[in-house]
């Protein structure tokens, strides 16, 4: 029962979510708190030590959150990881689906159907038999496979313009609520790091809530909520 609970926790928390949260806290501390560099380094060190301690409590955590990450920094680490993991199989079939449907993709929430298509049975990947999933576990592959180059470019242009306006607003107003949402959006769209489904799960709800906060403070002169 304990092993089942641990596995359930790991699957729901996700490797990508853990690493993205570490990045989020790191950048938030660096940018927001106007304290001496030594103190910032101290707090970041405490955060990292706590994370390492937490990971070492369980062998599954150590494998998924530490060993898999360190492999990425070895020679040809990224390629090796993608070639020898289930995530790599998801990305691989998503790329093939995109090549077969380059303009508009296969439609939102249809990766789960298309990835199981028998025409992809012979793809050259060690974990190809595990390729089928509800989504490709990476935002960029999800957009390319399900919405094609048209939907992907629309999303990139939309998000890029939104981030530009929001960052410009933050540099003027220094609103930390807006900054926290900007960091969340930026980290959410990082490539390669695994992610939840953007188009079909609660992940998108959290994304759009932060997007609304990020955009809502543009040209907002009310500083009562600014705790900087």
- In this prediction, residue 52 has a pLDDT band, given cuts at 50, 70 and 90, of confident
pLDDT of residue 64: 61
Task: Please give the C-alpha separations between residue 95 and each of 116, 154, 166, 221, in angstroms, as whole numbers.
Answer: 14, 19, 32, 45
Percent of the chain with pLDDT over 90: 42
- CA 64, 68, 70: angle at the middle one, nearest 5? 130
- Name residues whose C-beta falls within 8 Å of residue 48's C-beta, 6 or more positions apart in sequence: 22
pTM, to two decimals: 0.73
**In the chain, what are the domain boundaries?**
1-71, 86-221
| pLDDT 10s digits, 136-195 | 989 999 999 999 999 999 999 999 999 999 999 999 988 989 998 998 899 889 887 778
Q: Using the structure block, give the residue that is written with the tokens 């705790």.
A: 227
């Amino acid at each position: 029962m304990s092993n089942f609970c641990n596995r359930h926790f790991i699957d729901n928390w996700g490797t990508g979510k853990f690493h993205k949260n570490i990045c989020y806290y790191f950048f938030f501390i660096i940018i927001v708190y106007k304290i001496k560099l030594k103190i910032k380094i101290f707090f970041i060190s405490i955060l990292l030590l706590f994370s390492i301690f937490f990971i070492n409590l369980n062998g599954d955590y150590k494998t998924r959150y530490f060993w898999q990450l360190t492999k990425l920094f070895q020679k040809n680490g990224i390629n090796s990881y993608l070639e020898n993991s289930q995530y790599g199989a998801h990305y691989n079939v998503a790329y093939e689906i995109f090549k077969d449907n380059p303009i508009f993709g296969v439609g939102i929430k249809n990766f789960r159907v298309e990835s199981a298509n028998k025409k992809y049975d012979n793809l050259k990947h060690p974990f190809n038999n595990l390729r089928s999933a509800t989504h490709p576990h990476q935002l960029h592959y999800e957009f390319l496979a399900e919405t094609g180059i048209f939907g992907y470019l629309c999303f990139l242009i939309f998000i890029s313009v939104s981030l530009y306006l929001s960052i410009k607003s933050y540099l003027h107003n220094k609103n930390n609520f807006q900054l926290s949402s900007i960091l969340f959006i930026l980290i959410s769209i990082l490539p390669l790091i695994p992610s939840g489904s953007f188009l079909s799960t609660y992940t998108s709800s959290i994304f759009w809530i932060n997007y609304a906060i990020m955009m809502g403070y543009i040209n907002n002169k009310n500083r009562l909520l600014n705790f900087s």
